[in-house]
Structure formats: structure tokens, C-alpha cells
Amino acid sequence: MDLDDLHMLLDYHYWARDRVLAAAASLTGEQFTRDLGTSVKSVRDTLAHIDSSEWAWYQR
């Protein structure tokens, strides 16, 4: 892996993150917090999990 590969992966990460956030922004409050029966429960909890995971990587 070289610097160009890293840039490509980071670009993809931010592109995907922005798409997820845009999709979540269109949800109603009830949709955002509804228990989906998954391990992370709701869209809100999933976004919080993604954010905390991203923060952990930044700390490394």
C-alpha cells in the first residue's frame, strides 16, 4: 500500500460517510430512533457507533 492507495481509501470512506449521513438526515425522528431489532438497535445508535469507531481510529 502506498500513499495514493491511502488517499483513495480515505476518499471512499468520506464519500460513503457523507451518503449515510445524508440518508439519515431525511428520516423522521421516529424512524431515526426506532428499534430495528439489530445488535445496535436504531439508526441513531448505529451512527453513534460509527462515530465512536472513527474517533478511535483518529486517536491511533
Q: Does residue 58 have a pLDDT over 90?
A: no
| Contact (Cβ atoms closer than 8 angstroms) between residue 31 and residue 43 | yes
Domain-located, residue 4: no
Please state the rounded mean pLDDT for residues 26-55: 95
Length of the chain: 60
In a domain, 5, yes or no: no
Whether residue 14 is contained in a domain is answered as no
Q: pLDDT band at residue 21, thresholds of 50, 70 and 90? A: very high
Give, as one character, the DSSP assignment of residue 18.
H
Q: What is the mean pLDDT of residues 10-19?
A: 95
Residue 21 lies in a domain: no
Q: What is the mean pLDDT of residues 42-51?
A: 96
Query: Tell me, what's the pLDDT at 60?
Result: 86
Tell me, yes or no, whether 20 lies in a domain: no
Residue 34 has pLDDT above 90, yes or no: yes
Mean pLDDT for the stretch of residues 16-27: 96
* Closest CA relative to residue 34, chosen from 22, 43, 26, 25: 43
Determine the structural domain holding residue 43 and report its residue range: 28-60
